[in-house]
Structure 1
Amino acid sequence: MSQLIIYTDLDGTLLDHHTYAADSALPTLAKLKQWRVPCVWNTSKTYAELRVLRQRLHHQDPFIVENGAAVYLPKSQFQEPFCGARVSDEFYAKSFGPSRQHILEVLQEFKDSYEFRSFYEMDAETVAELTGLSKTDAALAKQREFTEPLVWEDSPAALKQFTAELNDTGLQILRGGRFLHVMGQFNKATAMQWLTDLYAERYGETPVCMALGDSHNDIAMLNAADIPVVVRSPSHLPPSLERKERILTKKFGPEGWAEAVEQVLASQQSLNAPSMRS
């Protein structure tokens, strides 16, 4: 068996949809760290949000922000920079799409034709009301670099037309658990595959990818994974995948997340596979 890598959505998956807590998953997260199974966060959240959340949950692995817009690699784990890397004090970063500023300029051209509100137009208090985040965390959610969430206030027919016109500009709309996300032509699978290839070079073999998510913006990631897991949500029906082989959890959110990960770890352990590297 090959090395196992776990890619996971956060909101509604590893984090509870209502409280954003991960308490039910903490013992399993500790086991992954003990067995040195990378747990890569693949989320719509921003770099600013994850800097805080990583400290709270003691996360040390790479992470992917804004629905696949960029991968951040800790320098402590990846010593050599790669072609096209942006470098900060702690991370190398690889981006896959245009800047948020470009997206905002494109959206401005549509303001007279369609009714919508973007994160950029909202203050932190409004974002907090829409998301259930604290005002402090909502301010971090507004610090976007590559994508722009929208609240759609027009008709479904108008949304269909808007989507088509937006595609002509090189942008797309991806539906998340709460918002429409305007972004470049990438998704969570784009970043996942790029990082998996990087891990393959490190291990000398192609890793087995397990992916967990709960909503529409996770579909590409789940379809591309070797072990796709749909985590049940209390707020919406499970997304439909192209493939029939997938795990559907019995429990919601972080409880369902832990349920599925423990199931896969147990199967790996029963095979006595060298996939949990020491």
Structure 2
Amino acid sequence: MSETQAPLLLLTDLDGSLLDHHDYSPGPARSWLTRLRARGAWIVPNTSKTAAELAPLMDSLGLAGQPWIAENGGVVALPADWLSAYPLEEASAPDAHGLCRIAVAMPRDRILAVLEELSGEFAFEGFASMPVARISELTGLGEGDAVLAGQRDASEPLVWRDAPERLEDFRMRLAGHGLKLTRGGRFHHVTGDSDKGVAARYLIARYRLCERVRPWTLGFGDGANDLPLLAAVDNAVLIPGVGDTSQRDRELADYPQLADERRCFRANLPGPQGWVEGLRHWLANGQPEEWTSRGLGA
């Protein structure tokens, strides 16, 4: 591949971004996935979903074999080819799609031990304590998919049941144990010392090491937990959130680069409609030029 070519590496949140918040459909984004893949773009889900949830979803979206980031940056899956020249001891053997899984954050059992310790001081409800029917009720997923949502490796989603003003105290207590608290579209997520941005930079670096070329990176997200991802890429799309976005809007102050319209486009429409709106914006206004000159412009 010529150094003058810049392949597209697109990293996207799923729920509320590529997928509709209510029915989990990609809607108008589906045809764009096909067109982008035909041009050789890499489409990388960067999500709070689990590896177990991603497997059938990647198939349904036509993305089987593409790399992915799960559990808010806790687990990364890379094509085996990206590791051939510089192998990693911690990488799993390739799966049926040629992807090697790498855990990059604290394992869930250690997270649950901390949450158990704090459960006497704060009121919250985590997935580990919920029956499948409760997860299904909260997520809108069928029970089979709710089972997959509960199969976590490096994070714990929870519903906050305590007073809102105590949430910051809870966050500080978690930090004392090396844990982070982020807000997604539906839940708060407790993770180790990683996030969607850390994992995105890791994946981009591995790509550059393998391909010897700097990709054009686009990021898409709607929640507070997506802000590190949007800050890690060349151009970003911030999609309107569904429900309470106050925490996201407060945390935006920590990412001044996202206030620059040359870096971050604010979509007007929610979900997949906003995803397509943002994609069309950057295809018309972003770099490199070849992505607008051969059939994929706005």
Q: Which whole-Å CA distance do the structure 2 matches of 1:270 and 1:109 have between them?
A: 50
Q: TM-score, normalised by structure 1?
A: 0.92
Q: Provide the rounded CA distance (Å) in 1 between the counterparts of 2:291 and 2:71.
A: 34
Letter in 1 for 2:20: D
Number of aligned pairs?
Answer: 275
- Match of 2:290, SS state, is coil
Task: Verify: 1:142 aligned to 2:150, yes or no.
Answer: yes
Note if contact 1:213-1:230 (Cα within 8 Å) is conserved in structure 2.
Answer: yes
CA shift, 1:252, in A, is 1.5
Q: Describe how 1:6-85 pairs up with structure 2 within 5 A.
A: 6-59=10-63, 60-75=65-80, 77-78=81-82, 80=84, 81-85=87-91
Shift of 1:178: 1.0
Confirm or deny: 8 A CA contact 1:85 1:94 kept in the other structure. Answer: yes
Give, in whole Å, the separation in 1 of the partners of 2:216 and 2:269: 24
Partner residue, 1:271: 289
> Comparing 228-237 with 136-145, which one deviates more in the overlay?
228-237
Shift of 1:156: 2.1
Give the structure, 1 or 2, with the largest relative contact order (CA under 8 Å, sep 6 or more): 1
Q: Which structure 1 segments of 5+ residues have no match?
A: none
Relative distance call for 1:270 and 1:188 in structure 2 (3 A) is closer
Q: What amino acid is aligned across from residue 15 of structure 1 in structure 2?
A: L
Deviation at 1:273, TM superposition (A): 5.8
Offset, 1:228? 1.1
Computed over aligned residues only, the root mean square deviation of the Cα atoms, in angstroms, reads 2.1
Deviation for aligned residue 1:3 = 2.4
The partner residue of 1:170 within 160, 173, 178 is: 178
Deviation at 1:79, TM superposition (A): 6.1
Amino acid in the other structure paired with 1:82: L
Unaligned runs of 5+ in 2: none
**3-state SS, counterpart of residue 258 of structure 1:** helix
Contact 1:211-1:221 at 8 Å conserved across structures: yes
- Distance (whole Å) between structure 2 residues aligned to residue 62 and residue 37 of structure 1: 12
| 1:130/1:209 CA distance change after superposition, 3 Å | same
Q: Distance in 2 between matches of 1:156 and 1:79?
A: 44
Change in Cα spacing, 1:275 to 1:106, as seen in structure 2 (3 Å) is: farther
State the one-letter code of the partner of 1:6. L
Matches of 2:220 and 2:13 in 1, distance apart? 6
Task: Tell me if 1:255 matches 2:273.
Answer: yes
